[in-house]
């Protein structure tokens, strides 16, 4: 009697899991002007920042120019904590004094993971944050002012991710890049814009679904509905093209700069100003807010007047508040008052007369 052998299939399945902490990180810049006037306020006495929000909690920073205690009287002390909250908060804190170019300096301190629980000890502090004599001799104190950056990482919770044995990895969506490529290629475009003599091609359906103004122009009762070519006279070509790029990709083209070259910063500020106006005209709220944010982060004596006028004309409340805060320093306001834009600024924003 014959015999037969049966092959035995053996499958080695390997799984894996990953433990992750879910965190939210945010930063606040606390600028202290007139540092010399804060010295001598007393050991254990502090100056306090405005409240700011990170991870759903309100926080405040307190700086002690004369030290937080007698044993720290030769140091600048600093601390931070959640305000008006009774729940337990876990967070990682980093303090640093910024250099004049905005980079971190060697005056820095980082906490361990800190749990804020008891209302009596709701702060974490670096009591010997900076030796006063060393700090005052440094270049980070300029025009009697310096800026403390506080970065807070709130730990919201933890989770375990399991890698399944079949190991399928789903890539992130690249729809926005595909649409950006569609705009740049011009394939299938059915409307042409002539902007300052330059031709830009686009797709009616994409424009209409992203902008109520384009929807009315291209599919409503306006004359542009029947036109294959639309002339735009009052927007610069680079601005209109950047706006179209945003409509397709939901992101800004790469015109932001990270260097300290004044000419590059000025180009970025001008583009942000013009894009904000265009975004307001075509009801692109996300783009308008992105430009408002860029302008808030890049205010200077030379551009704060224009920025404030734009804020008034286009209902940018955050930008207006930041411009007024920027000019609240007497030294800055005096410099702004000497610019050519100041007379228009007073006319548009009479509140400045009271500063």
- pLDDT for 82 equals 87
- pLDDT for 337 equals 85
With cut-offs at 50, 70 and 90, classify the pLDDT of residue 257: very low
- Give 139: exposed, middle or buried? Use CB within 10 Å, 0-12, 13-18, 19+: exposed
Cβ-proximal residues to 207 (8 Å cutoff; 6+ apart), any chain = 191, 214, 215, 218, 244, 247
Helix (H, G, I), strand (E, B) or coil at 210: helix
The answer for 79, left when phi > 0, alpha when psi is -120 to 50, beta otherwise, is beta
- pLDDT for 332 equals 83
pLDDT tens-digit readout, 281-305: 999 999 999 999 989 988 888 888 8
- Could you give the angle at the alpha carbon of 113 between the alpha carbons of 110 and 117, nearest 5°? 120
Residue whose C-alpha is closest to residue 336's, from 311, 309, 318, 313:
309
For residue 2, pLDDT over 60 is answered with no
If you average pLDDT over residues 258-272, what whole number do you get?
A: 66
Residue whose C-alpha is closest to residue 203's, from 164, 159, 215:
215
Out of 30-44, 231-245, 306-320, 328-342, which region has the weakest mean confidence (pLDDT)? 328-342
CA distances in angstroms from 187 to 173, 198, 232, 265, listed in the order given: 21, 18, 21, 34
Out of 36-40, 165-169, 176-180, 308-312, which region has the weakest mean confidence (pLDDT)? 165-169
Given the candidates 3.10.20.600, 1.20.1510.10, 3.30.710.10, 1.20.120.80, the CATH classification of the domain at 257-355 is 3.30.710.10
Helix (H, G, I), strand (E, B) or coil at 67: coil
Q: For the beta carbon of residue 181, count every other beta carbon within 10 angstroms.
A: 13
If you average pLDDT over residues 76-104, what whole number do you get?
A: 87
pLDDT tens-digit readout, 32-73: 999 999 988 999 999 999 988 888 888 999 999 999 999 999
- Could you give the angle at the alpha carbon of 260 between the alpha carbons of 257 and 262, nearest 5°? 90
In the chain, CATH 2.60.210.10 covers: 17-160
With cut-offs at 50, 70 and 90, classify the pLDDT of residue 255: low
For residue 135, pLDDT over 50 is answered with yes
User: Taking all residues of the chain, what is their mean pLDDT, rounded to a whole number?
Assistant: 85
HEC-encoded secondary structure of 103-162: CEEEEEEECCCEEECCHHHCCEEEEEEEEHHHHHHCCCCECCEEEEEEEEEEEEEEEEEE
Structure tokens, 4:
């037969």
Are residues 81 and 111 in contact, defined by beta-carbon separation less than 8 angstroms? no
Residue whose C-alpha is closest to residue 273's, from 247, 248, 301, 236:
236
What is the DSSP pairing of strand 191-195 with strand 229-232? parallel
For residue 270, pLDDT over 60 is answered with yes
More confident: 35 or 83:
35
- pLDDT for 259 equals 44
With cut-offs at 50, 70 and 90, classify the pLDDT of residue 333: confident
In the chain, CATH 3.30.710.10 covers: 174-251, 257-355
Whole-number percent of the chain with pLDDT over 90 = 47
Superfamily of domain 174-251 in CATH is: Potassium Channel Kv1.1; Chain A (3.30.710.10)
Structure tokens, 171:
């890539």
Domain 17-160 class in CATH: mainly beta
- pTM for this predicted structure: 0.54
Q: Strands across the sheet with 229-232, in order?
A: 198-202, 191-195, 229-232
């Amino acid at each position: 009697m014959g015999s037969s052998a049966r092959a035995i299939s053996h499958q080695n399945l390997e799984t894996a899991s990953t433990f992750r902490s879910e965190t939210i990180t945010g930063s606040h810049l606390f600028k202290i002007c007139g540092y010399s006037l804060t010295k001598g306020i007393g050991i254990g006495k502090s100056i306090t920042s405005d409240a700011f929000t990170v991870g759903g909690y309100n926080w405040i920073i307190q700086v002690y120019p004369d030290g937080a205690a007698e044993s720290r009287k030769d140091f600048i002390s600093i601390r931070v904590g959640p305000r008006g909250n009774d729940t337990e908060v876990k967070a990682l804190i980093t303090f640093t004094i910024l250099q004049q170019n905005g980079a971190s300096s060697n005056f820095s301190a980082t906490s361990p993971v800190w749990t804020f629980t008891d209302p009596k000890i709701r702060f974490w502090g670096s009591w010997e944050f900076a030796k006063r004599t060393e700090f005052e001799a440094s270049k980070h104190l300029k025009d009697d002012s310096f800026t403390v950056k506080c970065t807070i990482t709130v730990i919201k919770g933890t989770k375990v991710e399991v890698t399944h044995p079949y190991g399928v990895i789903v890539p992130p969506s690249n729809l926005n890049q595909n649409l950006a490529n569609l705009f740049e290629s011009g394939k299938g475009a059915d409307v042409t814009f002539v902007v300052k003599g330059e031709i830009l091609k686009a797709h009616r359906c994409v424009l209409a679904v992203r902008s109520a103004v384009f929807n009315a122009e291209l599919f409503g009762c306006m004359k542009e509905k029947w036109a294959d070519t639309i002339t735009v006279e009052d927007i610069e070509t680079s601005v209109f093209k950047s706006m179209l790029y945003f409509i397709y990709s939901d992101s800004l083209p790469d015109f932001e700069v990270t260097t300290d070259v004044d000419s590059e910063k000025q180009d970025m500020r001008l583009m942000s100003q013009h894009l904000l106006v265009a975004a307001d005209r075509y009801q692109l709220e996300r783009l308008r807010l992105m430009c408002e944010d860029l302008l808030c982060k890049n205010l200077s004596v030379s551009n704060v007047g224009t920025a404030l006028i734009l804020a008034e004309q286009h209902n940018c409340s955050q930008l207006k508040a930041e411009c007024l805060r920027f000019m609240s320093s007497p030294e800055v306001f005096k410099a702004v008052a000497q610019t050519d834009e100041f007379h228009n600024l007073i006319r548009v924003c009479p509140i400045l007369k009271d500063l």
